[in-house]
Chain A
Amino acid sequence: SQTIHQWPATLVQPVGSPLSLECTVEGTSNPNLYWYRQAAGRGLQLLFYSVGIGQISSEVPQNLSASRPQDRQFILSSKKLLLSDSGFYLCASDIPGYTFGSGTRLTVV
């Protein structure tokens, strides 16, 4: 069965520091991969999606970027974090169903 690994689970970072969140998928190949953000009291917002290695589509203008260096690896990055980047970040894969990882809680201080 498919498993999505996300790490770290919790992260506290100062404003202006860099960010790297990693997501890896097991049990499938050539999935579409997605990064979502959930801000406090709000629903989920799609940030990026990728249909293959090196292919990234951005849904909203923001301070973040994404990369897909391998088929089952999806990375969310920032060069300089803002306070508004705080939130709960979830990675998802569309194969075989739309499955989410356990998320990373990011607090920018």
Chain B
Amino acid sequence: LAKTTQPISMDSYEGQEVNITCSHNNIATNDYITWYQQFPSQGPRFIIQGYKTKVTNEVASLFIPADRKSSTLSLPRVSLSDTAVYYCLVDRGGGTASKLTFGTGTRLQVTL
């Protein structure tokens, strides 16, 4: 499975839009891009998943360019409660999750 690279940390003020970019140069045709969010003392939770173009849900948007070698998680108007670690993963399902590498993710700190 393709390895991903994302910034170690980001800082933002409350109310701003935050964009976290993840690169996955070796993504395969059957791979999907999935983002998880982890709050302190909790397990990671799924926030968004996509294959190409743009996906939006009530929490975030995911932008994927045509070549799919990167993706950007966009969090609109962040609040203090968005302070968390965000993980970008690429997998193709079908039981391949055992091959995933979560890494250390991007630590987002939101302040007033």
B and A form one assembly = no
Residues of B participating in the A interface, judged by any CB pair closer than 8 Å: none
